Structures are given as structure tokens and as C-alpha cells.
């Protein structure tokens, strides 16, 4: 298949590109703005097998230029960190909403299929049970509100213009190439460096962890087998309280429990996410990687790929870290 992958230099996008090349032999153009989270290093082993274009999804000319050879657009491009959306929501509105609109308009003009990569956060928090695709949308943060707005735009292009769209909503991903502002890579790198492990609030919030290769395969499955106009939830096999995730990382890295430090909670913090994934299951997808197995693989990957993360833990990241946690990193 000929794919335009937007945001393909980020965490999930780069895993998707690698998987589609290896398992499907797709012809891929990546369009990426290379924000702090997007890096050519994420595609280091496949750069000569793809066409890479440095540009923004909110730029209609850049998108039209990339779309010429494609059959479908798969959109990963987004501002993705909830904490950053609380301190600076503007970039989220531009990329997540305006950018998605430019992609939809281009897909319509060029007659392309369209896959929107979305999130369980559009449903908001749930105390017990799981959200289905028919659950009401109730986002809580500027991040999830802009992702919800994007999903609604996508649906409107199906209903109004008949654009063949699919939305795939994932739960919390983890695995290789994830920027260390997110819980798991942040804790792994701080644990290895002997630094503090900052747990928000009481640490009892629950996330439904999905290994990135399973999500990438779920998105590919929705692209190939999804019905136009439909939404598919794609959740992980295991849920876990944050404090238990951190304790497992302490064990796997040989760090000390005393490194764990409870810090001020995130404003408007969602307590629990949970997805029912029967609909995508009926199309033949299931998550294959347990949290225990995936976490061990992830810790090993960060141990073995210092070249990848060492350059990140400087400059912008250190400034962000100090502003956000009110203290500098040790190592
Ligand atoms: P990420 O932050 O690692 O990567 C985002 C990528 O988008 C980067 O390469 C960045 O440079 C690029 N980008 C940002 N703004 C852009 C713009 N205006 N134009 C072009 N490129 C731009 O994110 P991720 O964790 O890989 O998430 C990818 C997608 O999956 C997002 O849409 C996110 O909402 C969704 N999602 C993420 C998770 C998760 O747990 N990480 C779970 C479910 C869904
Ligand atoms: O659920 C899917 C979403 O998962 C994606 O749509 C988002 O793009 C992605 O960032 C992620 O959002 P979360 O807010 O759940 O992920 P994060 O890694 O930021 O935090 C996971 C949990 O850990 C959350 O309850 C907050 C907590 N946390 C996070 C950090 C960074 C801490 O306790 N300490 C921390 O330092």
C-alpha cells in the first residue's frame, strides 16, 4: 500500500513505519514537523527505505505535496503530552485540530482513505467497567479536548462528504523510542541514573498499558479491515496502578524504593482509563504482549540504546524538567 504517514518520526509513528515496511512492504512517505518529540533518530534504520519530508500538517502546501503518490493517510501527528497541554494549550489546538482539518481536506481533494490515530482519553475517566466505541465523549484536559475535536471533525468528513475514514483509539502505549517525558521512559531513565522517581498524587491512578508494536498492528488492522466511518478501540491486556508500574521499574533496573517521591498531582488528573476492544477483536486483532513481558523488553531497550536517549537529556528536556518538577535532574 502507498501510505502518507504524518507524525512518523514520533514514538508510535516510527514503530508503525518500521512494522509496515518489514511486514507489508508498504511504500511510505513520512511528513513530520520534527518538534521536540519527533526525531530522525527514531527512523535511523529505515530512513533510506522511505521518503522523508520535514513539514507541518497544518501547512496545506506541504501536505498536498506529500499526498500525490498516496492511497491513504495515517495521521499520528499530534502534540501528545497532557502536562504540556496544561501549561501551553495553543500548540495543541493548531496541530491536533487545525492540522487534522488540513489532512482531511487533502484526503477529500485527492480521493484518499484516512486513518486518525486517537486515544482512550477522549472518553474521560471511568471508575469501573470499560468504554465502548458508543460511550459518550467527555475529555478532561486540553490535550484530550483537542483530540476529541479532531475525532469529531473526522466523523463529520465521513457523514458530510463520504470520506472513507477510520478512527483507532489506543490506550497508554509504552516501548522503544518513547520520549522520556512520559511515565515509563522517564521512570526507567531516572531509575538507571539514581535520580528521584516523581509519582503524582497518591499514585493510585490506573492506566491500561499497550505495547507499542501491538498498537501499531492494531492501526494497520483498522486501516486494512476497518469499515469506513467506524471507530475502533485498541486497548492493552493489563491495567496497573502507577505506583505498581514504578515499583516494577525499580525491580527491573535494580534501583532503590527510596528513589520514589510523591509530588504534587496533575490538575484535573483522570483516575482510570479502560477500553473494551471487542469490536477490533471481531476483525481479528488482539494485543499479544503482556505488561510483564513488554516492560522487561522496554527496560532492556533503554539500557542498550544509550545513544538514542543520551542526547535528549540535555537542553530543552532539562529546561522542561526543571520548570515542571521544580528541581534539576541529577544524571
Ligand atoms: P509523539 O509525541 O512521540 O510524536 C508525535 C509526532 O508528531 C512527532 O514526531 C512530532 O514531531 C510530530 N508532530 C507534532 N506536531 C506536528 C505537526 N504540526 N505537523 C507534523 N508533525 C507533527 O507521540 P506518540 O506518543 O507517538 O503519539 C502518536 C499519536 O498516537 C498521537 O496522535 C497520540 O494522540 C496518539 N496516541 C498516543 C498514545 C500514547 O500512549 N503515546 C496512546 C493513544 C494514542
Ligand atoms: O491514554 C492514552 C494517552 O496516554 C495518550 O493519548 C497520551 O498521548 C499519552 O501521553 C498518555 O497520557 P497519560 O497522561 O496517561 O500518560 P503519562 O505518561 O503522562 O502519565 C501516565 C500516568 O502517570 C498518569 O496517571 C500521570 C502519571 N505520572 C506521569 C508522569 C510523567 C506520574 O505519576 N509522574 C510523572 O512524572
DSSP states along 318-330: HHHHHHHHSS---
Q: Which residue among 120, 181, 213, 270 is the active-site one?
A: 120
User: Nearest CA to 273 among 173, 179, 142?
Assistant: 173
d(CA 306, CA 256): 21
Query: CA torsion angle for 256, 258, 204, 265 (degrees, to 10)?
Result: -120
What residues are paired with 34 via a beta bridge?
Answer: none
Predicted pLDDT of residue 330: 82
User: Nearest CA to 166 among 123, 223, 112?
Assistant: 223
pLDDT in tens, 279-295: 999 999 999 999 999 99
User: Nearest CA to 279 among 214, 216, 218, 206?
Assistant: 218
Residue 305 Cα to ligand 2 midpoint, Å, equals: 23
Smallest CA separation from ligand 1 atom 17, residue: 56
Say if residue 297's pLDDT is above 80. yes
Tell me the average pLDDT across 184-193.
98
Residue 118 Cα to ligand 1 midpoint, Å, equals: 10
Predicted pLDDT of residue 331: 64
DSSP state of 275: B
Residues contacting residue 157 through CB under 8 Å, at least 6 positions apart:
104, 107, 108, 114, 163, 165
Q: Structure pTM?
A: 0.99
Smallest CA separation from ligand 2 atom 29, residue: 183
Predicted pLDDT of residue 191: 98
Q: Which residue among 32, 79, 114, 143 is the active-site one?
A: 143
In percent, the amount of the chain with pLDDT more than 70 equals 100
Task: Check if 121 is active-site.
Answer: yes
Cell reading at 128: 469501573
pLDDT in tens, 173-183: 999 999 999 99
User: Nearest CA to 234 among 85, 84, 122?
Assistant: 122
Predicted pLDDT of residue 218: 98
d(CA 244, CA 149): 33
d(CA 52, CA 152): 29
Cell reading at 253: 533496573
Residue 179 Cα to ligand 1 midpoint, Å, equals: 10
By the 8 A CB rule, do 199 and 260 touch? Answer: yes
CA distances from 288 to 80, 159, 240, 277, 294 (A): 25, 34, 17, 13, 10
User: Nearest CA to 116 among 65, 157, 151?
Assistant: 151
What residues are paired with 234 via a beta bridge?
Answer: 170
pLDDT in tens, 232-271: 999 999 999 999 999 999 999 999 999 999 999 999 999 9
d(CA 92, CA 80): 8
Instruction: Kindly state if the Cβ of 141 falls inside 6 Å of ligand 2.
Output: no
Which residues lie with the beta carbon below 6 Å from any ligand 1 atom? 6-7, 9-13, 32-35, 37-38, 56-58, 76-80, 95, 99, 117, 119, 147, 170, 172-173, 179
Predicted pLDDT of residue 50: 98
Say if residue 153's pLDDT is above 80. yes
d(CA 171, CA 119): 6
d(CA 329, CA 223): 41
Which ligand 1 atom sits closest to the C-alpha of 12?
26
Predicted pLDDT of residue 69: 86
In percent, the amount of the chain with pLDDT more than 90 equals 98
Predicted pLDDT of residue 310: 96
By the 8 A CB rule, do 212 and 12 touch? Answer: yes
Task: Check if 224 is active-site.
Answer: no
Say if residue 45's pLDDT is above 90. yes
Which ligand 1 atom sits closest to the C-alpha of 14?
26
Instruction: Kindly state if the Cβ of 205 falls inside 6 Å of ligand 2.
Output: yes
Residue 128 Cα to ligand 1 midpoint, Å, equals: 28
Q: What is the pLDDT of the chain when averaged over all its residues?
A: 97
Task: Check if 244 is active-site.
Answer: no
Indicate the SS3 state at residue 199.
Answer: strand
Amino acid at each position: 500500500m502507498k501510505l502518507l504517514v504524518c507524525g512518523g518520526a514520533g514514538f508510535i509513528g516510527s514503530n508503525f513505519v518500521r512494522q509496515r515496511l518489514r511486514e507489508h512492504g508498504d511504500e511510505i512517505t513520512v511528513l513530520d514537523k520534527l518538534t521536540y518529540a519527533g526525531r530522525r533518530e527514531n527512523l535511523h534504520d529505515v530512513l533510506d527505505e522511505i521518503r522523508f519530508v520535514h513539514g507541518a500538517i497544518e501547512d496545506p502546501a506541504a501536505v498536498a505535496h506529500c499526498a500525490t503518490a498516496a492511497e491513504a493517510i495515517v495521521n499520528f501527528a499530534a502534540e501528545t503530552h497532557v502536562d504540556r497541554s496544561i501549561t501551553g494549550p495553543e500548540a495543541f489546538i493548531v496541530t491536533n485540530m487545525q492540522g487534522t482539518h488540513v489532512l482531511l481536506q487533502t484526503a477529500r481533494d485527492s480521493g484518499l482513505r484516512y486513518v486518525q490515530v486517537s486515544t482512550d482519553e477522549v472518553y474521560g475517566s471511568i471508575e469501573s467497567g470499560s468504554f465502548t466505541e458508543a460511550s459518550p465523549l467527555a475529555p478532561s484536559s486540553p490535550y484530550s479536548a483537542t483530540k476529541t475535536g479532531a475525532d469529531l471533525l473526522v466523523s463529520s468528513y465521513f457523514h458530510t462528504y463520504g470520506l472513507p475514514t477510520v478512527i483507532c483509539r489506543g490506550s497508554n502505549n509504552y516501548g522503544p523510542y518513547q520520549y522520556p517525558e512520559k511515565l515509563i521512559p522517564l521512570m526507567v531513565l531516572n531509575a538507571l541514573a539514581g535520580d528521584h522517581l516523581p509519582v503524582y498524587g497518591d499514585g493510585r491512578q490506573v492506566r491500561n498499558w499497550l505495547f507499542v508494536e501491538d498498537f501499531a498492528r492494531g492501526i494497520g488492522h483498522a486501516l486494512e479491515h476497518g469499515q469506513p466511518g467506524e471507530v475502533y478501540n485498541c486497548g492493552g491486556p493489563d491495567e496497573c496502578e502507577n505506583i505498581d508500574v514504578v515499583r516494577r521499574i525499580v525491580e527491573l533496573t535494580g534501583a532503590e524504593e527510596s528513589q520514589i517521591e510523591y509530588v504534587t498531582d496533575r490538575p484535573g488528573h483522570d483516575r482510570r482509563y479502560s477500553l473494551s476492544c471487542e469490536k477490533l477483536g471481531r476483525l481479528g486483532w488482539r494485543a499479544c504482549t503482556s505488561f510483564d513481558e513488554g516492560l522487561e523488553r522496554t527496560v532492556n531497550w533503554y539500557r542498550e540504546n544509550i545513544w538514542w536517549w543520551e542526547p535528549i537529556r540535555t537542553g530543552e528536556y532539562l529546561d522542561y524538567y526543571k520548570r515542571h518538577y521544580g528541581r534539576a535532574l541529577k544524571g
